Structure formats: C-alpha cells, structure tokens
Amino acid sequence: MFALMAPGQGAQTPGMLAPWLRDPGCAELVRAWSQAADCDLVHLGTKASAAEIARTENTQPLLVAQGLLALEVLAEVHPAEQVVAAGHSVGELTAAAYAGVLTPEDAVRLAVIRGRAMALACDQVPTSMTAVVGGDEQEVLAHLAALDLTPATYNGAGQIVAAGHVRDLERLAATPPPGAALRPLPVAGAFHTRYMDSARRTFEEAVATVPFADPARLLLSNADGNVVTSAQDVRRRLVDQLMLPVRWDLCLATLDRLSPELTVAVPPAKTLTNVLRRQLPHLEVLAVTTPRDLAPIRRRLSAEQGGLIRVGA
C-alpha cells in the first residue's frame, strides 16, 4: 500500500510552480485549470509576492494545483489498487481528486470558490489562529473553552491550533496553558470554526453543482480519520469541514494502522513531511518539493506493485 498526503494552507512559497511549468505538459494543465477556475495560477505560482499568495483566495487553489501536478507526473501505466489518500484542510480537495472523486478541474475550481468564500468570511469579524504546542491536552482544551476559543486543528505530536476572536487570542497570549508554547499563525481568520458559517453556505451551493464519484481508492476524512466510501459522504464532509476541526491526528492514527510501505508527501511538502516523520517515525516518508524529487519515487513505485492511477481516470 502507498499513501499520498496533501498539505494545507500555510505551506505555500513564492514561485512554487515555476519549476513545474518548465514542463510543457504541466504548463498546459495549469493553463487549463486556470481557465476552468477563473484564476491565474501561472501568475500566482511564478511572479506573485509572498503577500499575494498568502491571501486565502489565492493560497488554496495554488496548493491544490501543485499537488495535482505532482500526481500527474507520478502517474504510471499500471495502477496500484492499494492507495490511500489524505489531505490537510484544503488538501482534502487534492486528496479527493487523487481518489477519483473529483476531476482536477473541479478540484481547482472548488478550491477557488472555497478560498474566496473563506476570505469574505474572515472580513466580517476580526479573528485569527494560534498554534498551541505542548502541555497536557485536556488542560489545553479546557483552557481554550474558558476563553471561548475553538480547537480548530489537531495536528498531532502535541500541537493544537486555537482559533477565534482576536481579543480572545490576546487573552490566550497573556495566559497560556501550563507547559505550552504559543505561535500566532499568519492567517486571515478563524478557519474551521463557527466564523466560517457564511463560507460554508457558499461552498455548499458550489459543490451541489459539481459531479462527485464514489472513491476509487481509500480516502481519509479530516473529520474523524475514517475511510470515506461514498460520493455523497465526501460531498457532505467537504462542506462541513469549513466549520469543523481538522482531525489530522486521527488521519495519522489511521495511516499508522494501515502501515503503508511508502508515504509520499506532495508539494509543498516540508511542513507535512516534518509532522509525518515526527509523529510516525517508523514509516518511510518521501517528500516532493520540486520535479527532481519525482524520479526516485517513480522508480520505487514501479518496482513495487504498479504505480498510481492518473488523476481523473
């Protein structure tokens, strides 16, 4: 079994698509996705500044597009039957395309709609997010609840991301939980909380117009780390995810039980790779950062039981 892991917001870097676009086939795909999604991915992935790609409406389709490019290049002639896919937050759209639930065009288009809707929701109330690292988990959760903050992301390895109103995060900064370190995150607002209600409604309308297929490969859900088996369930979970916590810790627990021979972290892979190696050091993890990283992975996949199914197949 092989695992494919897709990162979420915060992993982006300026010029991240530039090395991929040197390949004519990849460049053609990105232009097609840009047209389908009404979003200039070529500009965002090559010339846009760090500030521009940090904007939620730009970050999300950029991350999904790069992850899908990596899979297109990894695609093999003989597909492996045992592939498990998971994505962190917006990376679930990438993972859904990996699993055959969405076409790449629809995955990128939904990422644009999702990002724009969440950006608008962030403008309504001053909110943000702070990583809480260390401390006793139950004490941390109780402390956040007392401050009216939401545990928006459980990243595993002793990290919970708190989200909520800026004034409540300021109270957290003044009174951190015992034994915990705090790291404010450079995000536009409180993702995966009640503050995303308007974005959830917009996204729900969008996904209702897009065809979903039952997963052709194992697909893990951020909601509970479980394998999702139906198109209807994937659709519902992707919508609900905007307001529910990301349970990446439970996805990692499922991955541990499945014990894949190889786990591939698709680009931009640095943050996700660090989490995987810290939480599951006994699993072999290979990171894809640039197209040069794909050749050894292709050889490894080909040497085992086939390879990967081309996206959208």
Q: Which two tokens stand for residue 151?
A: 């545990």
| Phi, psi (deg, nearest 5) at residue 294 | -80, -30
The answer to whether residue 259 is catalytic is no
Q: Which residues contact 112 (CB under 8 A, 6 or more apart)?
A: 37, 38, 39, 57, 60, 61
Catalytic hit among 34, 89, 128, 221? 89
Evaluate whether 235 touches 207 at the Cβ level (below 8 Å): yes
Q: Show contacts of 288-296: CB within 8 Å, 24+ apart.
A: 288/70, 288/264, 290/19, 290/20, 291/19, 291/20, 291/22, 291/23, 291/73, 292/19, 294/70, 294/73, 294/74
Give, in order, the Cα–Cα distances in Å from 95 to each of 1, 89, 139, 304. Answer: 16, 10, 33, 22
Evaluate whether 34 touches 42 at the Cβ level (below 8 Å): yes
Catalytic hit among 88, 143, 165, 192? 192
Task: Assess whether the previous peptide bond of 126 is cis (omega < 30° from 0).
Answer: no
The answer to whether residue 282 is catalytic is no
Evaluate whether 227 touches 258 at the Cβ level (below 8 Å): no
Could you give the residue numbers annotated as active site?
Answer: 89, 192
